[in-house]
Amino acid sequence: MGFEKVRFEKDSARALEDKKLQHALVNVTNRFRSARNKASGEVADWETLRARGRDIKKETIANLDKYLCELEESVRRAGGHVHWAGDADEACRIIVDIAIRNDVKSAVKSKSMATEEIELNANLERAGIRAVETDLGEYIIQLAGEHPSHIIAPAIHKTKDDISKLFSEKFGIPYLSEPEELTKVAREKLRGEFLNAGMGISGANFGVADTGTIVIVENEGNARLTTTVPPVHVALMGIEKTIPRYEDLSLFLTLLARSATGQKSSTYVSFITGPRRETDIDGPEEFHLVLLDNGRSRILASEETRESLYCIRCGACLNNCPVYRQVGGHSYGWVYSGPIGAIINPQLMGIDSAPELPFASSLCGACRDVCPVKIDFPRVLLELRHKVVESKKENYGAGGAMIEKISVRLWRYIVTSKNFYNLTSKISYYLQLPWRSGNGSLRSLPFPFSKWTDERDFPAIAKTSFRERWKKIKQETG
């Protein structure tokens, strides 16, 4: 992996050129969107559930220190080990150490955005440990050497044809056109991996503080195998995934499944409390929970944007975002994409690494409408935009930033004086005349206005403004 800086403008331009990707994005987001709308519409008190979900998250995040300690104690009580990882390197080191201690040569992984975030696979490989993704989408992405482009559907940017070619090339098998055949190939390959793996690595959708239970939702059964077959199970969980009580689960599982895929419930929901007990038929001998901070406590410290941590990673904001629908996940430059990526990538990576992302939104608010915990995306984006501008103040080197700053200041002086404002409108009226076309609009303007007129006409400034006309209108009566 290794992302140094997000380049939204450049990467989104490439995505817009990719016809196959455009087609896939429309299909998948439409499908998810209508499934979600149907599934949430079936629940009579859906809005109440969302409000309740938000309240619980708000209370949990505000008291995260307390709940995390409770979670740690509960996991230990159940016989598990708990590790605290301040950043990505520390988390990788902890997991590699567990693997080395257990003489692990290969590990199976179920789908986890947190492991993508810390670039775990590359770190395991450097330590001589093979890590195999077992979620079908992730498996495809790993074979192709790419990154996920959607939180819950990592391979949506790949067509069936792409996958058929990939399998044929990587496994030396004939081109298979049926999805069932492709899935069968993957399943056969993966069965062996499960049986041989010395360690299973998973993420966690929820970590329940009062019981120490880790909850994983999925539809393929690979996470169930990952967490039960190998002798060691390591779960990596972002600290914000904590929920206080076991009884809160039914609410969050409802919100998550219906918002994510439009299912009433995911096909598999695994509740894991510690390692195998004496009476259990299967399950790992060792269970480790790695709690990942990696910038999250920085978000926690910022009261204005703290609600970014309420996210339960359902992906509904992606499917409903008109920007994501055009540009896909890779344009966001890091593991998280769409509206949630636009707010958490800059906060987790540091605002200077992703200064474009808070601006990569028209602030339409469609994301907020579908968010199961009602994150106020536009408000958070606006806060982050302010932070970007403030941070750029400090390093004035960026030319674009300086030009923007000067323009805004100039604009401010114009609009805070009526006379200056009137004069500017007048002067602009005459300045625009050379660009006016037959129908009165402006067809091409010099840079930076060309960014508008390359594909759209721009309206001409009126000869007499409303305020000038008002003098006459005032005299007339209705």
Partner 1 sequence: MKAYLFITCLVDTFFPQVGENMVTVLRRLGVDVEFPEDQTCCGQPAFNSGHREDARAVAERFLSVFDKALDGSGEDSYIVCPSGSCATMLKVFYKELFHNTPVLLDKAHNISGRTYEFTEFLVKILKKTDVGARYKGVVTYHDSCHLLRELGVRDEPRKLIEGVEGTELREMEMHDSCCGFGGTFSIKFPRVSVSMLDEKIECILNSGADTVVSSDMGCLMNIGGALSRRKIPVRVMHIAELLASRNNESE
What number of CA atoms fall less than 13 Å from residue 6's CA on the CB side?
31
C-alpha distances (whole Å) from 432 to each of 201, 365, 428 are 62, 34, 6
Shortest separation between residue 439's beta carbon and partner 1, angstroms = 7
Please, which of residues 386-445 interact with partner 1 by CB under 8 A?
Answer: 386-390, 404-405, 408-409, 411-412, 415-416, 418, 421, 425, 428, 439, 441, 443
Among 172, 434, 473, 475, binds partner 1 (CB under 8 A): 473
Please, which of residues 102-131 interact with partner 1 by CB under 8 A?
Answer: none
The one segment of 58-66, 93-101, 183-191, 383-391 that binds partner 1 by CB under 8 A: 383-391
With 0-12 CB in 10 A as exposed, 13-18 as middle and 19+ as buried, what is 421? middle
**SS3 of 118, please?**
coil
Among 113, 326, 351, 435, binds partner 1 (CB under 8 A): 326
Amino acid at residue number 310: Y
Do residues 368 and 19 touch, judged by C-beta distance below 8 A? no
Amino acid at residue number 97: D
Nearer to partner 1, 278 or 474 (CB): 474
Residue 369 near partner 1 by CB under 8 A: yes
Cα 79 from Cα 288, distance rounded (Å): 9
Cα 3 from Cα 370, distance rounded (Å): 29
Nearer to partner 1, 63 or 425 (CB): 425
Q: Write each residue from 6 to 45 as x if it is in contact with partner 1 (CB under 8 A), else as -, in one continuous string.
A: --xx--xx--x-----------------------------
Q: Token match 């009602």: residue?
A: 374
Angle at which helices 19-41 and 249-260 cross, to 10°? 140
Cα 137 from Cα 144, distance rounded (Å): 11
Residue 175 near partner 1 by CB under 8 A: no
| Closest by CA position to 352, among listed 312, 319, 392 | 392
Shortest separation between residue 97's beta carbon and partner 1, angstroms = 43
CA end-to-end span of the chain, whole Å? 68
Nearer to partner 1, 66 or 469 (CB): 469
Nearer to partner 1, 170 or 412 (CB): 412
Q: Write each residue from 279 to 318 as x if it is in contact with partner 1 (CB under 8 A), else as -, in one continuous string.
A: ----------------------------------------
Nearer to partner 1, 127 or 351 (CB): 351
Spatial strand order in the sheet of 268-272 = 242-243, 206-208, 213-218, 268-272
Return residues touching partner 1 (CB under 8 A).
Answer: 8-9, 12-13, 16, 322-323, 325-327, 358-366, 368-369, 378-379, 382, 384-390, 404-405, 408-409, 411-412, 415-416, 418, 421, 425, 428, 439, 441, 443, 448-449, 451-452, 454-462, 464-470, 473-474, 477-478
